């Protein structure tokens, strides 16, 4: 028998230096392309997530409070990052008229007058005393403490017992919320318009408030419009562009005694329109322009703009 032929020797395993350099070069190119693609995708996703969060906050506020809100998307200036910012409604103060009610700060403690009514809508309420000419509530509102100039909502609950003209809320020279002899509400606002010019805005010719049942009345201003609502339903609005004429000695008065509310008042709430903290967008993205996305009092929006994000170089 012939001996088996010897098997040829296997080539030594491994790569040459040239092969290794070629592989490393190809991998580097692929890695660079993938990192660039993923980075771009991540920035877009981050921007979309930030925008979605602010839109959600604005929509929830609109639905919860029954007021319009909006979100601003702004490009950065002089190389700064772009921002997304929601304009929301924030509580400033609530007065429940409960005996011994505590406040977080003495600056939030109003002067109360009138008669305590234990059986109000939410507990204790108040009514004016015949012959007294003192407001049920008097609260000094310095702009440094509570700034209403860029927008506010004042709400209160009323039980009206008979028809008579009345002043419901007075805010110095800036605001009067009135009732006529048929309990139809109307309001007057004084603003500072462009260039500091004085502007007078009025809301008139509205339906009457209900008699002998509780209702929630509100007057609001957002820097562009003013409106009056009752029980979450808007009764009327008017254009009101400017800043409210709130001065250092401006006081909020509920049911001034010279023309008191013909009934009972309960739970006065003051809320402010204010921008939430701005959220920075990724540094490699900028909004193409300024976008404003608004929600109505039901939290609905019309056709929202398609927000376009581009690289800073594209805007140059």
- List, for residues 136-168, the tens digit of each pLDDT value: 999 998 888 899 999 999 999 999 999 999 999
- Separation between Cα atoms, residue 292 and residue 295, nearest integer Å: 10
Match 């906050």 to its residue by tokens. 57
- Separation between Cα atoms, residue 254 and residue 112, nearest integer Å: 10
Domain boundaries, the chain: 18-82+281-315, 92-271
Mean per-residue pLDDT for 74-97? 91
CB 101 within 8 A of CB 112: no
| Backbone φ/ψ region at 58: left (φ over 0), alpha (ψ -120 to 50), beta | alpha
The pTM of this model reads 0.79
CA dihedral sign of residues 168, 171, 177, 180: positive
pLDDT at residue number 27: 47
pLDDT at residue number 127: 96
pLDDT at residue number 17: 43
How many Cα atoms occupy the beta-carbon half-sphere of 17 within 13 Å? 0
Q: Which residue has the higher pLDDT, 41 or 98?
A: 98
What distance lies between CA 259 and its chain's CA centroid? 33
**Residue 209: strand, helix, or coil:** coil
CB 216 within 8 A of CB 231: yes
φ, ψ of residue 261 to 5 degrees: the values are: -65, 130
- Separation between Cα atoms, residue 185 and residue 218, nearest integer Å: 10
- List, for residues 54-80, the tens digit of each pLDDT value: 999 999 999 988 888 999 999 998 889
- List, for residues 265-312, the tens digit of each pLDDT value: 999 999 999 998 999 999 999 999 999 999 988 899 887 778 998 887
Residue 100 structure tokens:
């011994």
pLDDT at residue number 16: 54
Q: Quote the percentage of the chain above a pLDDT of 70.
A: 84
pLDDT at residue number 233: 92
- List, for residues 210-234, the tens digit of each pLDDT value: 999 999 999 999 999 999 999 999 9
What distance lies between CA 289 and its chain's CA centroid? 22
**Residue 69: strand, helix, or coil:** strand
pLDDT band for position 109 (cuts 50, 70, 90):
confident
Neighbouring residues of 277: CB distance < 8 A, sequence distance ≥ 6: 85
pLDDT band for position 105 (cuts 50, 70, 90):
low
- What does the DSSP 8-state code read for residue 35? H
pLDDT at residue number 8: 46
Q: Using the predicted structure, report yes or no on whether residue 182 has a pLDDT greater than 50.
A: yes
What distance lies between CA 159 and its chain's CA centroid? 29
Q: Using the predicted structure, report yes or no on whether residue 36 has a pLDDT greater than 90.
A: no
Q: Quote the percentage of the chain above a pLDDT of 90.
A: 64
CATH of 92-271, one of 2.60.120.200, 2.40.50.220, 3.20.20.190, 3.30.460.10: 2.60.120.200
pLDDT band for position 316 (cuts 50, 70, 90):
low
pLDDT mean across residues, the chain? 86
Strands (E), 43-112: 69-74, 83-95, 111-112
């Amino acid at each position: 028998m012939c001996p088996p032929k010897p098997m040829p020797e296997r080539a030594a395993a491994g790569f040459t230096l040239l092969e290794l350099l070629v592989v490393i070069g190809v991998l580097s190119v692929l890695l660079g392309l993938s990192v660039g693609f993923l980075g771009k995708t991540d920035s877009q996703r981050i921007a979309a997530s930030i925008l979605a969060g602010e839109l959600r906050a604005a929509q929830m506020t609109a639905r919860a409070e029954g007021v319009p809100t909006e979100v601003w998307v702004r490009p950065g200036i002089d190389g700064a990052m772009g921002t997304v910012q929601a304009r929301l409604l924030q509580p400033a103060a609530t007065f429940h008229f409960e005996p011994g009610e505590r406040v977080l700060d003495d600056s939030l403690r109003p002067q109360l007058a009138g008669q305590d009514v234990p059986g109000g809508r939410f507990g204790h309420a108040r009514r004016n005393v015949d012959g007294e000419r003192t407001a049920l509530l008097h609260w000094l509102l310095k702009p440094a403490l509570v700034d209403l100039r860029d927008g506010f909502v004042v709400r209160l609950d009323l039980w009206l017992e008979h028809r008579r003209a009345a002043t419901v809320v007075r805010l110095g020279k800036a605001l009067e919320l009135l009732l006529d002899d048929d309990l139809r509400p109307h309001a007057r606002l004084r603003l500072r318009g462009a260039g500091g010019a004085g502007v007078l805005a009025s809301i008139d010719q509205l339906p009457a408030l209900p008699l002998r049942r509780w209702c929630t009345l509100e007057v609001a201003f957002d820097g562009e419009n003013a409106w009056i609502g009752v029980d979450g339903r808007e009764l009327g609005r008017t254009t009101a562009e400017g800043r409210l004429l709130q001065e250092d000695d401006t006081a909020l008065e509920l049911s001034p005694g010279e023309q008191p509310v013909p009934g009972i008042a309960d739970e006065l709430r003051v809320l402010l329109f204010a921008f939430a903290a701005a959220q920075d967008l990724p540094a490699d993205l900028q909004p193409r322009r300024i976008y404003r996305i608004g929600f109505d009092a039901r939290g609905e929006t019309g056709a929202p703009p398609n927000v376009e994000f581009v690289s800073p170089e594209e805007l140059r």
